[in-house]
Amino acid sequence: MRVLMFGWEFPPHISGGLGTACYGLTKGLAHHGVDIDFVVPKAYGDEDRSIGRFHSAGDVDFDIREKTMKEYWDRIKYLEVGSNLIPYVSPEEFQRLISEDIMSDVEHHEAIFSQRFSFTGKYGKDLMQEVSRYALIATVLAEKLDFDVIHAHDWLTYPAGIAASKVSGKPLVVHIHATEFDRSGQHVNQNVYEIERKGMSIADKVISVSNLTKRTVNERYGIPLEKITTVYNAVEPNKIDGMNEPRGVRQKVITFLGRITYQKGPDYFIEAANKVLQKDREIRFVMAGSGDMLNRMIRRVAELGISDRFHFTGFLKGDEVSRMFSASDLYVMPSVSEPFGISPLEAMRSNVPVIISKQSGVSEILEHAIKVDFWDIDAMADAMYALVNYNGISRMFSRYGKTEVDNLKWDNAAAKVLNVYEEAVRETAIH
């Protein structure tokens, strides 16, 4: 099986769980003998080349005068990007971005006739322009490469997947790691919603990361249930043994690790932490990550008078994440809406007990995790206090949790995805 795969990010250059999931899945598919051409907006050269061939969209030559290119370009519309599409910068950084004239009209019109586009691969002011250009590059690659099926990860790559499918006639599989309702609640960006809906509607098959997401796709986007297959994420084996590293503090450490945005519920973590500290001041809390709510969270910690018990690390990646977990006694994921959530698996892999919200996809498969409603800060605080003060409970969740996640393998998830590919290819051949 040969796959043309589109993803917006790939380790080690990632902004969240999307890139981590892409790596685990592609590695698992490679183990099953799947031949992969992975296209990213910008490749850095340090990606794991053992799993397939990487194509950097910025290195692909094209000619706008070619009939296929011209027809597709005429259909592209540039859309304005709202602030909720830039979840990885601070409010101050966002104001700087939108005040700068990053791409003037003159530059825009000159660029479309050049031989190559320039991609940042980031989540900035030009995001929708890059999404459109990326789709144009997809038409070039779809004509040049040999493949059986197209796989597009999340809305950023859906236009590219659609374009490649139209040019090649090959089936399209779209993979939903998060929807606009997860990112923005009820205040969705209509442009993004329409891209998601169109991608799911045109796709031959849809993969969701949980049954929670499957229901959202069915109810909010009108996609038939029989078209959607749930494939749960997994976790890579831990390569870093940091358990013997000095922690630097004698107190117990409770960690939040993720984007500091509405979706992840950082405000509920802080309110629960404050309740715990009213009972026991000998606990430290870590908030690892960045996002548009970071400054607000720092101010709230100061208002509550718990700054001496709180640490803000900024964004962590790679080995830094493993070392953070190795220094933690408890991990908490209080997400308001979490399609899946790989970070609890990473924590459990490091022998760290976890508390997760019932509003997460990962809660569907984990047995040895404490599950609470994200809004129930009393229950969350009680669970935090118990897990760091009663060693017997903590040891039980650590031991059984580690065994549980060790059995969640990307090879198994990849086998299910391969079945989806084969169904899509068979059905396309019939029609």
Q: Which residue has the tokens 């031991």?
A: 399
Q: How many CA atoms lie within 13 A of 117 on its CB side?
A: 27
Rounded distance between C-alpha atoms, residue 344 and residue 235, angstroms: 10
Q: How confident is the model at residue 409 (pLDDT cuts 50, 70, 90)?
A: very high
Is the confidence at residue 87, as pLDDT, over 90?
Answer: no
The predicted pLDDT at position 246 comes to 65
Q: Summarize the confidence of residues 263-277 as an average pLDDT.
A: 97
The predicted pLDDT at position 132 comes to 85
Chain segment 10-27, per-residue pLDDT in tens: 888 877 788 889 999 999
Instruction: Count CB atoms within 10 A of the CB of residue 150.
Output: 29
Is the confidence at residue 89, as pLDDT, over 80?
Answer: no
The predicted pLDDT at position 44 comes to 85
Strand partners, 63: none
Q: How confident is the model at residue 102 (pLDDT cuts 50, 70, 90)?
A: very low
Is the confidence at residue 350, as pLDDT, over 70?
Answer: yes
Rounded distance between C-alpha atoms, residue 116 and residue 200, angstroms: 29
DSSP state of 379: H
Q: Summarize the confidence of residues 76-80 as an average pLDDT.
A: 42
More confident: 246 or 349: 349
Chain segment 251-268, per-residue pLDDT in tens: 999 999 998 998 899 999
Weakest mean pLDDT among 70-74, 151-155, 386-390:
70-74
Identity of the highest mean pLDDT range in 50-59, 120-129, 235-244:
50-59
Chain segment 30-40, per-residue pLDDT in tens: 999 999 999 99
State the average pLDDT for the chain: 86
Those residues with Cβ within 8 angstroms of residue 117's Cβ, 6 or more apart along the chain or in another chain? 57, 58, 62, 111, 133, 136, 137
Is the confidence at residue 85, as pLDDT, over 70?
Answer: no
**Would you say 396 and 372 are in contact if contact means Cβ atoms under 8 Å apart?**
no
The predicted pLDDT at position 106 comes to 34
Q: How confident is the model at residue 245 (pLDDT cuts 50, 70, 90)?
A: low
Rounded distance between C-alpha atoms, residue 151 and residue 165, angstroms: 10
Continuous segment of H or E residues that includes residue 190 = helix 190-202
Instruction: Count CB atoms within 10 A of the CB of residue 201.
Output: 14
Set out the domains of the chain in order of their start, with CATH numbers. Answer: 2-234+410-430 (3.40.50.2000), 252-406 (3.40.50.2000)
For residue 38, give both structure tokens.
Answer: 């992975």
DSSP state of 338: B
Provide, for the chain, the percentages of residues in helix, strand and coil under a 3-state DSSP scheme, each rounded to the nearest 5: 50, 15, 35
Q: Summarize the confidence of residues 181-206 as an average pLDDT.
A: 91
Is the confidence at residue 101, as pLDDT, over 80?
Answer: no
Torsion sign across C-alpha atoms 58, 63, 65, 68: negative
**Would you say 345 and 405 are in contact if contact means Cβ atoms under 8 Å apart?**
yes
Is the confidence at residue 3, as pLDDT, over 60?
Answer: yes
The predicted pLDDT at position 203 comes to 98
Continuous segment of H or E residues that includes residue 140 = helix 127-144
- Give the burial string for 57-93 (b: 16+ CB within 10 Å, else e): bbebebeeeeebbeebbeebeebebbebbbbbbeeee
